[in-house]
Every structure is written in C-alpha cells, then in structure tokens.
Amino acid sequence: MDNFDTVLETLYIVAMRIHSRRLLVGTLVLVPFLMVGCAAASDPQLTDSPVQTAPAPVFASNEEALAAATQAYGAYLAMSDQITGEGGARGERIAPFVTASYLPELLDGFDSFASQNRFSKGASGFDTISLARYADDSRGSASILLYLCADITAIHVYDASGVDQTNSDRPNRIPEQLEFVSDGANSRNLLLKAEDTWGGKNFC
C-alpha cells in the first residue's frame, strides 16, 4: 500500500492550496475511487473446482449382476469339462475365464489329473443360485459374491483303458461360494477369482 499512501499525501498537499470547500469535495470524491482501485487489485481470483463424477455402475441392478455371474460360471464350467474330457491337456485354455491369481491353482489341478492318465465324460451343472454381494469400486470395476450348488452327478471319470473310476462315495452336490471380479479390459466381463466349498449349513 506504499503507492496508495503516496497518492494520499500528494492529494493533501494539492488540496491545501484550494478553497476549503473544494478540499472537502475533492477528498470525498477522489479518496473513495482510490480505495476502490486498491481493493479491486487485491481481490483474489476465484476459480471453479473441477467436479468429480463417480463412474456409472457396471450393472444396472443386482439381477443383472447375478445373470452376468451365472453366465460367466457356466462358460468356465464348460471349458473345465472340456479340458478334463481331454485328459487335462492344455489346461491354459481356462485362462480367459479366471483371474491371473486363481489360474496357477487350476493349472496344478489339471496337471495332476493328466498325470493319472484319466479323462472325464459328462457335463457339470449348478443350481440354487443366490447373490450375496454386488459392489463397484471407484475405478468402475465390479465385485460379485454368490452361492450355488455345484452338481457333478453327470460327470464320470475313466482310466486310459476306458474303465469307470468314478468314486462312488463322492458328494455329487456341493455348496459353493464363488467370487467374480471385472476383467480389466472390459468391466462387464466377469472372471472367476475364487471357488470355495461353503463351510456353513449345507443348502444343497
């Protein structure tokens, strides 16, 4: 404010040389204008903050999320049955249906099956499906948890000579808890992340 003080001092010296009434009028008129100019120069410039918008839901409803997970699991089972039907060969074909973290466990299982020189016939099934959780994260990726009954009644296992080696004591209907997450390339494409036997009350 040094410049402002200098201007006021100059105004006072000039005003002393004129009639007192003109001094009063000049002071009342000029000083407010000078003060307005000073205040205007010091006002901060306000800018609008960018508006953060949340990503749209991956699925429009719980029903749509459940339908997508059901379809994804059906595709996964079909490929799994195909691999074991061919003796466990080329287990990496399951990769497009599961997450990178779950893939090694499945590949180990197929390798173990192949080492026994066995193959399967029949198709896996499932029913009694219920949605436990559907959520989207801040990146627009979906996470889905569901329960279902896996049904392997139609699956039989044979040795290399074609003799049925199916264990007669095996449980054919198994309660399972499944977790799916969005594929990084396409959030509506679901990948199986975990497949666990439900440890609570058997609902199958």
Task: Round to whole Å and give the CA distance between 193 and 98.
Answer: 6
Tokens of 42: 């010091």
**Domains of the chain, CATH where assigned:** 2-32 (no CATH), 62-197 (3.10.450.240)
The model's pLDDT over 122-143, given as tens digits with 9 standing for 90+, comes to 999 999 999 999 999 988 899 9
DSSP 92: G
Q: Say what the pLDDT of residue 5 is.
A: 39
The model's pLDDT over 50-84, given as tens digits with 9 standing for 90+, comes to 656 767 899 999 999 999 999 999 999 999 999 99
The model's pLDDT over 145-178, given as tens digits with 9 standing for 90+, comes to 999 999 999 999 999 999 999 999 999 999 999 9
**Longest CA pairwise span in the chain (Å):** 126
DSSP 105: H
Q: Is 192 helix (H, G, I), strand (E, B) or coil?
A: strand
